[in-house]
Amino acid sequence: MPRIGILVVAYNAESTLQKVIQRIPADVYAKIEEIFVFDDASKDRTYEAGREAMLAPYGEKLRVFRNPVNLMYGGNQRKGYEYAIRRGLDIVVLLHGDGQYAPEVMQELLTPLEGGQADMVMGSRMMIPGAALKGNMPLYKYFGNKVLTWTENTLIGQNFTEFHSGYRAYSVSALAEMPLEQMTWNWHFDTQVILEFLRRGLRIKEVPIPTYYGDEICHVNGIPYAWNCVKETMKYAVADRWRRKPSHADSEQSDAPLPLAPRP
């Protein structure tokens, strides 16, 4: 049995954190080793809400940490993954404390990892046509997501349905290969992770997830985020996809017979 942990990243999630943890399905909860909440120096009582949840019946596997300063979205994830690596876990699920992603479908993300079929599983809100809009994704976010994903796919030669979902599960051994200390603390951390997995030839699988847009507060500044995502994928395209195209001379050389080694 793989050792599974759930990383809950939380910022100003006082009103939603406990509900999110309670919504983790019983069959998933039974087999996980630990739920670790990383509160990113929230301005509300997120940390206290997490500590209170530890005393509830569903809190026996819960640990709650608070960053002394705000590390932003990428920095907070990095802390969580470093913790998972130190704990020697096999799989870690990334779950947001604001309730934007459904804990109820967590097993869909776990199954390919448990079966050894993937190193990363990304939940996609775009795999089922029309589902994102039915889940109240605003039109500007829907079309922005589609255009940005198309741009990134075109640059790096992939065919993902969505680059920008934050509901993911990872092989911890694969995460241990990532240069986490060199990666951004900003919102495009998730895009950097995809590119690092591709760079190493690791397996990425998408599964459909439901879309939910309620009254949660979005802290992402869309234009700088989009620019950073495109910049990162362009850097990948230049350095890893287009870096060395075979020349005519290379082709001729590759077709030439190799010289025989001299006899001893």
DSSP letters, 193-211, are HHHHHHHTT--EEEEE---
Integer Cα distance of 105 and 186 in angstroms: 27
- The one-character DSSP state at 19 is H
Distance spanning both ends of the chain, measured CA to CA: 53
Query: Residue 224 — φ and ψ, nearest 5°?
Result: -60, -35
Q: Is residue 260 part of a domain?
A: no
Amino acid at 194: I
Domain that holds residue 206: 4-242
Interior angle at CA 157, CA 226 and CA 81, nearest 5:
60
Query: Residue 125 — φ and ψ, nearest 5°?
Result: -85, -5
Residue 131 contacts residue 45 (beta carbons within 8 Å): no
Interior angle at CA 218, CA 191 and CA 233, nearest 5:
15
Q: Is residue 256 part of a domain?
A: no
| Strand runs labelled E in 28-101 | 34-39, 62-66, 91-96
Q: Look at residue 33 in the predicted model and tell me its pLDDT.
A: 98
Exposed, middle or buried by CB within 10 Å (0-12, 13-18, 19+), for 110? buried
Q: Look at residue 30 in the predicted model and tell me its pLDDT.
A: 97
Q: Look at residue 213 in the predicted model and tell me its pLDDT.
A: 76
Helix (H, G, I), strand (E, B) or coil at 11: coil
Split into its structural domains, the chain has a count of: 1
Q: Which two tokens stand for residue 223?
A: 């234009």
Q: Look at residue 243 in the predicted model and tell me its pLDDT.
A: 62
- Share the mean pLDDT of the chain: 90
Q: Look at residue 65 in the predicted model and tell me its pLDDT.
A: 98
Which CATH number covers residue 28?
Answer: 3.90.550.10
Q: Is residue 251 part of a domain?
A: no
Q: Mean pLDDT, 10 residues at a time, over the chain (264 residues)?
A: 97 97 98 98 98 95 98 98 98 96 97 98 95 90 95 96 96 97 96 97 97 65 88 93 47 34 35
Residue 29 contacts residue 61 (beta carbons within 8 Å): yes
Q: Is residue 88 part of a domain?
A: yes
Q: Which two tokens stand for residue 96?
A: 């947001």
Integer Cα distance of 229 and 62 in angstroms: 33
Q: Is residue 211 part of a domain?
A: yes
Q: Which two tokens stand for residue 159?
A: 């065919």
Residue 70 contacts residue 41 (beta carbons within 8 Å): yes
Q: Look at residue 212 in the predicted model and tell me its pLDDT.
A: 82
Q: Is residue 161 part of a domain?
A: yes
Element (H, E) at 113: helix 106-114
